[in-house]
Every structure is written in structure tokens, then in C-alpha cells.
A and B are shown apart, each in its own frame.
Chain A
């Protein structure tokens, strides 16, 4: 299973999201290949899931991956709930 964490530039906020997604997956006992990138690279990258903000999700509409939206990147409970519902 591949999960892509996506932000505007692919260097800052997507990496923060990736760290917290990895924390949560570990806690859930889920194995996944987690990467981070910018929104334009993501649109051309095959993956099972994309995690991003509501805003950037708009520009990824039509991507074959299932898109998971997170509003608060620092709320591990929100990330866990969103992941649990989607996986």
C-alpha cells in the first residue's frame, strides 16, 4: 500500500504530515510505504492513497488514488480517524 502526503512545494508541510501519518500508522499497526511530494508531482504519480489539505485536494480531483483530507496536521486523532475511515 502506498500513501502520498502532498503539499504545495513538497518540502515542508508534506514532510510534517508524513511524520505524523507514519506515527499514526505505526500506532495502528499498519504497514505502508509513505512518501511526500508536491501537488504537481502527485498528480502524475500512481499511488493508493493521497493525504492532503482540503484546498490542495481540489486540484487533485480526477486522480485514481483515494484522497484523504486532513484539516489539522498536528491533531493525531483527526489523522487517525481519517486514515481508519479510508483504509
Chain B
């Protein structure tokens, strides 16, 4: 399981639109070896077909696709955008934090979602992620809370 280690985090990334933001978060999964580049295309296809329903909370998006779209390991990356962008969600735009979720069919998938859910259920953690200066800061936060 690869969960928000510092090489899966990119802070103050400059994206012009939602697709660039999704691509960047997906690229972190690809660079870590957790997913194939086909997974990025599948996340983008899902966004185009099904819309921005995965913007699950104010300023937070969790793009993902299916495990069979090219994921080898359950994983979560984070891109924090320098300038928030609109995903087209009626209530939760604009998006600042993009957590790409590498879905897997293993039991790790549920463990991973549980970790991510308990992290994001606490507004103090979200504030800390928005305020962090480095990926190491976020890694340290996770060590404490998850």
C-alpha cells in the first residue's frame, strides 16, 4: 500500500484546469510504480463521462477509476494546487486538494479508504494539509493521526 508518502505528494502545483490537476495527481501514482499511465486516461474518461461527483467535500477531489484500468498497488497521491481550479461541482468548487486514488481489488483497497476517510473526517487535518510547507510535514502529520 502506498499512502501519501512524500514522493506521492506535490505541493503548490500549477494547473490550469481540472484535467491538468487530475493528470498531475495520476502521474504521481505512475511515477511511484503503483499504476500504469492507462489509469490516468481512465480517470479522465470517468470525469468526462460521469462528471465531477468525486469532488466529495469543499475544495477536495478524489479522482479514481477502476482497479482493472491499470493499478498494481492500492495507493493515494496528493496534488495541492497553487491556484484552486473549478471542476464543475455545484457545491464544492473550487478544488484545491486532489487525492488520486489508485483502486485495487485487494483487501488493501478497503484499508486504504479507511485511512483516507479517517484522515479527511477531521477538519483539523485538512487545515494542516492546506498549511503544510513540505511533503515531509504531511508525512509527519499522517504518522501522528493515521
- Distance (whole angstroms) from the CB of A11 to the closest CB of chain B: 5
CA distance A56 to B109 in the complex (A): 23
Interface 9-residue window, one of A27-35, A42-50, A72-80: A72-80
Within 8 A of B (CB), among A28-87: 39, 53-56, 71-76
The one of A11, A39, A74 in contact with B56, judged by C-beta atoms closer than 8 angstroms, is A74
Interface residues on B, range: 20 to 34
Given known A-B contacts A11-B103, A12-B101, A74 and B60 have beta carbons under 8 A apart: yes
- Say yes or no for A19: interface residue by CB 8 A criterion: yes
Given known A-B contacts A13-B56, A74-B121, A55 and B90 have beta carbons under 8 A apart: yes
**Contact indicator A72/B58 (Cβ below 8 Å):** yes
By beta carbon, the residue of chain B nearest A10 is: B66
**Contact indicator A9/B121 (Cβ below 8 Å):** no
CA distance A3 to B67 in the complex (A): 25
CA distance A71 to B56 in the complex (A): 7
Interface 9-residue window, one of B4-12, B15-23, B44-52, B134-142: B44-52
CA distance A29 to B19 in the complex (A): 42
Interface 9-residue window, one of B24-32, B33-41, B110-118: B110-118
- Say yes or no for A5: interface residue by CB 8 A criterion: no
CA distance A9 to B113 in the complex (A): 15
- Say yes or no for A7: interface residue by CB 8 A criterion: yes
**Contact indicator A8/B113 (Cβ below 8 Å):** no
- Say yes or no for B65: interface residue by CB 8 A criterion: yes
- Say yes or no for B80: interface residue by CB 8 A criterion: no
By beta carbon, the residue of chain A nearest B103 is: A11
Proximity bits, B51-74, A CB within 8 Å = 1, else 0: 111101110101011110000000
Top 4 A-B pairs, shortest CB-CB distance: A8-B50, A73-B56, A71-B91, A12-B64
Task: Show 23 residue pairs from A and B whose CB-CB distance is below 8 angstroms, ordered by the A residue.
Answer: A9-B65, A11-B66, A11-B67, A11-B109, A12-B64, A12-B103, A12-B113, A15-B110, A16-B62, A16-B116, A16-B117, A19-B114, A53-B53, A54-B91, A55-B53, A55-B89, A71-B91, A72-B57, A72-B91, A72-B92, A73-B56, A74-B60, A74-B126
